[in-house]
Amino acid sequence: MENGICVTKVETPLRIYPSTDGFIFGTNERGQDLWARVWSGTRTSLYIGFMVAIVEAVVGILVGILWGYVRALDRLLTELYNVLDNIPTTIVLILIAYVMSPSVSTIIFAMCLTRWMGMARFIRNQIIIIRDRDYNVASRCLGSTPGQIMMKNLLPYLVSVIMLRMALSIPGAIGNEVFITYIGLGIPINTPSLGNLIDVGRKLFSSASLRYQLLFPTIVLSIITISFYIIGNAFADAADPRNHL
């Protein structure tokens, strides 16, 4: 149920085209209101994107800071990263989606399992650049613990790049959901998402009169991608201390 409108129940066997009888986006081949399904699907896909981005950031930041700052862990984590990085992400996503029952939780778990490594590697490289700068050396000489240096000196420096990475991760995760749905392992059709709406529209694209079923969810996906890119850059600029000098 979405704003008093059922997005899964079939209301009529007749297809209604856009802007007809109060149906802004028309209906699909099952008579379901496409407007309601697109916005319900947008909510589902954004939920997936935000959850994946949050988990990716938390795990990636923790591992990345330890990886870059604690020299004793550098070799171990580098070897672990090299092993995991050589496993194709697409294969992991497909295997998890195939073994586990298709659901929103399965999609989130599969993406979180593979996407944190990129964030960790990125944070590690940034930490290596700044860990031996004068203010960090001075902090160590004044008796600051590694934890204090990480939280007070290193993490604030990374806020801008973390915000940008998270903003780009959200549409990236939604794109992965679209891909998994395209190969038939995504969220079931009775739970609207941009992935399965685009997949249904793709299958009907050969019919000129039905192309609107692909057009509307694709436009929404494009708007989400562009919006988060703009938001990410704005957050990065606002959080970058160099812009306030």
182-193: pLDDT as tens digits: 887 888 888 888
113-153: pLDDT as tens digits: 888 888 888 888 888 887 777 777 787 787 777 667 777 77
For 138, what's the count of Cα atoms within 13 Å in the CB-facing half-sphere?
A: 5
Residue 233's region, left for phi above 0, alpha for psi from -120 to 50, else beta, is: alpha
User: Is 25 domain-assigned?
Assistant: no
Residue 143's region, left for phi above 0, alpha for psi from -120 to 50, else beta, is: left
Structure tokens at 38: 């697109």
User: Is 26 domain-assigned?
Assistant: no
Range list of H helices, 70-145 = 71-85, 89-99, 104-130, 134-141
Query: C-alpha distances in angstroms, 94 versus 33, 144, 180?
Result: 31, 46, 7
Domain around 206: 34-244
User: Is 166 domain-assigned?
Assistant: yes
Q: What's the whole-number average pLDDT of the chain?
A: 79
User: Is 134 domain-assigned?
Assistant: yes
Spatial CB neighbours of 233, under 8 Å, sequence gap ≥ 6: 164, 167
Q: Give me the number of domains the chain comprises.
A: 1
Predicted confidence at residue 241, as pLDDT, reads 60
User: Is 10 domain-assigned?
Assistant: no
224-243: pLDDT as tens digits: 999 998 888 887 777 666 66
- Alpha carbon 67 to its chain centroid, in Å, reads 23
Predicted confidence at residue 2, as pLDDT, reads 52
Task: Give me the residue label for tokens 């129940």.
Answer: 9
Predicted confidence at residue 158, as pLDDT, reads 79
Confidence of residue 17 (pLDDT cuts 50, 70, 90): low
Of 198, 201, 196, nearest in space to 186 by CA: 196
CATH code for position 112: 1.10.3720.10
3-state secondary structure of 23: strand
Predicted confidence at residue 52, as pLDDT, reads 93
3-state secondary structure of 10: coil
User: Is 17 domain-assigned?
Assistant: no
Predicted confidence at residue 7, as pLDDT, reads 54
How far apart, in whole angstroms, are the C-alpha atoms of residue 29 and residue 13? 8
User: Is 15 domain-assigned?
Assistant: no
3-state secondary structure of 31: coil
Global confidence as pTM? 0.79
How far apart, in whole angstroms, are the C-alpha atoms of residue 239 and residue 190? 41
- Average pLDDT (36-43) is 88
